[in-house]
Chains A and B, each alone.
Chain A
Amino acid sequence: MSKFRKNDSKELPPISTASLPDIVFMLLFFFMVSTTMREVTLMVKVTVPEATELSKLEKKSLVSYIYVGTPHTQYQRVFGSEPRIQLNDQFAKVEDIQDYITSEREARDEAEVPFMITSLKVDEYTKMGIVTDIKQELRKASALHINYSSRKRAD
Chain B
Amino acid sequence: MARRVPEIPGSSLADIAFMLLIFFLVTTTMDVDSGLERRLPPMPPEDQQDDDTPPIKERNVFVVLVNAKNQLLVEGEISRIEDLREKAKEFMDNPYNEEHLPEKELKNVDFFGEVEVTKGVISLRNDVGTQYGTYIAVQNELVGAINDLREELSKRKFGKSYESLDREQQGAIRDIYPSKISEAEPKKVGGN
> Which A residues fall within an 8 A CB radius of B?
17, 20-21, 24-25, 27-28, 31-32, 34-38, 48-57, 60, 63, 117, 119-120, 122-129, 131-132, 135-136, 138-140, 142, 144-150, 152
Chain A's interface: helix, strand, loop or mixed, by majority? Answer: mixed
Size class of the contact patch on chain B: 35 or more
B133 to chain A, nearest CB (A): 3
Q: Are B24 and A31 in contact (CB under 8 A)?
A: yes
CB within 8 A of B135: which of A119, A131, A142?
Answer: A131
Q: Are B35 and A149 in contact (CB under 8 A)?
A: yes
Cα–Cα distance between A136 and B38 once the two chains are bound (Å): 14
B115 at the interface (CB under 8 A from A): no
> Which B residues fall within an 8 A CB radius of A?
10-11, 13-14, 17-18, 20-21, 24-25, 27-30, 32-43, 126-133, 135-137, 139-140, 143-144, 147, 186
Q: List 7 A-B contacts (CB under 8 A).
A: A36-B29, A48-B35, A51-B36, A124-B136, A125-B131, A145-B37, A150-B34
Q: How many A-B residue pairs have CB under 8 A?
A: 142
Cα–Cα distance between A51 and B36 once the two chains are bound (Å): 8
Q: Are B33 and A56 in contact (CB under 8 A)?
A: yes
Q: Are A35 and B36 in contact (CB under 8 A)?
A: no
CB within 8 A of B33: which of A34, A119, A125?
Answer: A119
Q: Which A-B residue pairs are the 7 nearest by beta carbons?
A: A124-B133, A129-B128, A31-B24, A149-B35, A35-B28, A24-B17, A51-B140
Q: List B contacts of A55 (CB < 8 A).
A: 34-37
Cα–Cα distance between A62 and B188 once the two chains are bound (Å): 34
B13's nearest neighbour on chain A, judged by CB, is A21
